A and B are shown apart, each in its own frame.
Chain A
Amino acid sequence: MLRAFQRTFFPAAWLGWQVESNWTDPLIFFVFSALKPIASVMILVFMFNAVSRSGTDPALYAYIYLGNALYIYVGAIMAGTSYSILDDRERYRALKYLYIAPISIPVYLLGRAMARFMTGTLAVGITIAAGIVFFKVPIHPMRANWPMFFAALALGVLCLAAMGIILGSITLTLRSEPWFLGESVASALYLFSGAIFPITLLPATLQPIGFLMPMTYWLELMRRALLGSGSASFPTLAAYSNASLFGILAALTLGFGLLAFILHRLFDRIARDKGMIDAQSNF
């Protein structure tokens, strides 16, 4: 079983990395990897600066900056897994060959998610480094809790990969506007998980959605690991200890993992029945 996993996972991760990176030379790839996330975070920096005379909290700046930087992982891993189904089915027209190869499709998707994780890590690293060097984000690498950071990162990436497999499986059965699915869920999570503002600002009726999202707890853990005591000024999850947050995130990851297993089987069967594995929507 382990050999079957290795036979699928590593080639898929390698293939994904090639698809993401070999369209150009390394320098342009590096610029491309930096440009989008830096521009995205600069929007928030300039929004902050435009109104910073109105009595704003500097701790909020770190909250917004880090949330936006770390959210790159959500788009890359979760939405990216859904896109990889579309890439293989519609653009490279290779999904049908993958289906007849002796591999496991969920493991293949995990491998593609790993490639997205690598490109995402490059973007997150550049954004956070730029934040420390140029934008006065109060992160002190020597004071950060790195074991907690990497533990939370690993759990979060697992959860995002499970969510990506769910979206990828649903994407298999979509004929119209399939590329919007990953984007829709990523956008919704951006709003509800408190990535760039505390979810207590949401209308009271919408706040429970935020508390059901694993990303809410994941982002809180990552912020606490990087900002240390500076993150205590964000009241949303202040009552939760680190252990409680890890517990909730682990439970949600397990839940999404199980859901990914069940839904993949369901949507895979539907896609086969409807002849969607080699469908062309000409998107």
Chain B
Amino acid sequence: MDRGWRLFLRTIVARAYPRVVGQQRQRTWIFFETFLPFVAVSAYVFVYRALNAPADYIGFVVMGGAMTAFWLNIIWSMSAQMYWEKDNGNLALYIMAPNSLMAILLGMAIGGMFATSLRAAVILILGTWVFQVPFVVSSPAQLFAVFLLTMTALYGMGMLFASLFLLFGRDVWQMNTMLQEPVYFLSGFYFPVKSFGFAVALAASIVPMTLGMDAMRQLTFSSGPSIGFLRVRVEIAVLAVLSIVFITAAKYWLDRMERLAIQEGTLTDRRR
């Protein structure tokens, strides 16, 4: 039997597999998870058009619409995943199995990130093509670094939430709903976060998407630097710190939840 790192890596691959392969078998996502966000994006684009906004603002909306795919994946398929597993009766099996829960969450994150990237790419390409978005990429290397760090911090946050959400009962639905529009608003999915002023924008930066999108806007639009909240280098550094903090916190809480499950024997009870 595999042990140690070998088991850890195989668990990651095993948990990522259904997220990647599942979407090949169930292709309805192409309609539901690309067309629907695109419709929402279109509505916001028409609002900016009604307001005679500069063309870059249409681009902000398209980019924000693509990034919603990641945030929805975080709250519904990462944060609430352990709760779904509890509801289906699988969580007890996860805890009994000899593999690490951290590896399971990492597998979920990597598989989810890959699958969601495809969705986000489709929304971005479709939006760019339909609304003729004028992208001007100033530094591809920095853009890649920002995206990678945003994803790492974001999925680290998702892993932390996954363990914390085990404490919820049926209110998990309401919690997820509460994390949707308010985060779209506070993270500035459809407008520059600088509009909030320094203090609110700083507080909103606890969600990695806030600084990630602000940096990406600065790096991909000609008007980007003028509407940026912080300098891109500073935002990259903060995102790196957030990545470490969230992944460490996820590990701590996951271990704690696992201990609770073993001691109390009630954590996996679906009636809770």
Contacts and interface: CB of A to CB of B under 8 A. Distances in A.
Interface of A: 23-24, 32, 35-37, 39-40, 42-44, 46-52, 54-56, 60, 64, 176-177, 180, 183-184, 187-188, 190-191, 195-198, 201-202, 282
Contacts of A197: 43, 46-47, 49-50
B172 to A, nearest CB: 10
A50 B195 contact: yes
A127 to B, nearest CB: 12
13 contacts: A32-B178, A36-B178, A39-B185, A43-B184, A46-B195, A176-B26, A177-B26, A180-B32, A184-B35, A187-B40, A196-B47, A197-B43, A282-B88
A191 B195 CA distance: 26
A134 to B, nearest CB: 14
A50 B192 contact: yes
A196 B178 CA distance: 22
B32 A23 contact: no
A202 B49 CA distance: 10
Contacts of A55: 52
A24 B184 CA distance: 24
A176 B27 CA distance: 10
Contacts of B42: 191
A184 B34 CA distance: 11
Contacts of B189: 43
A201 B47 CA distance: 9
A47 B185 CA distance: 10
A39 B181 contact: yes
A78 B21 CA distance: 33
Interface string B149-183: 00000000000000000000111001001101110
Nearest to B168: A23
Q: 5 tightest A-B contacts by CB?
A: A51-B53, A39-B182, A39-B181, A180-B32, A39-B185
Contact of B47 (A35, A52, A54, A64): A64
Contacts, number: 110
Contacts of B43: 190-191, 195-197
B191 A46 contact: yes
A56 B47 CA distance: 11
Interface string B223-246: 000000000000000000000000
Q: Chain A at the B interface: mostly helix, strand, loop or mixed?
A: helix
Q: How large is the interface on B (under 10, 10 to 19, 20 to 34, 35 or more residues)?
A: 35 or more
A39 B184 contact: yes
A35 B178 CA distance: 7
Interface of B: 26, 28-29, 32, 35-36, 39-40, 42-44, 46-54, 57, 88, 169-171, 174, 177-178, 180-182, 184-186, 188-192, 195-196
A40 B184 CA distance: 8
A64 B51 CA distance: 10
Nearest to B52: A54
A29 to B, nearest CB: 9
B39 A23 contact: no
Given A39-B184, A176-B26, A196-B47, 14 more contacts: A35-B181, A39-B186, A43-B185, A47-B47, A49-B195, A50-B57, A50-B195, A51-B51, A176-B28, A177-B26, A180-B28, A180-B32, A191-B43, A197-B47
A36 B177 contact: yes
B36 A47 contact: no
A24 B188 CA distance: 29
A183 to B, nearest CB: 6
Contacts of A50: 53, 57, 191-192, 195
A187 B36 contact: yes
A42 B182 CA distance: 9
A207 to B, nearest CB: 12
A86 to B, nearest CB: 11
A109 to B, nearest CB: 20
Contacts of A183: 36
B51 A56 contact: yes
A8 to B, nearest CB: 24
B182 A35 contact: yes
B185 A180 contact: no
B8 to A, nearest CB: 27
B257 to A, nearest CB: 22
Given A54-B52, A187-B40, A32 B174 contact: yes
A23 B181 contact: no
B39 A187 contact: yes
A52 B51 contact: yes
Nearest to B177: A36
Contact of B51 (A47, A180, A195): A47
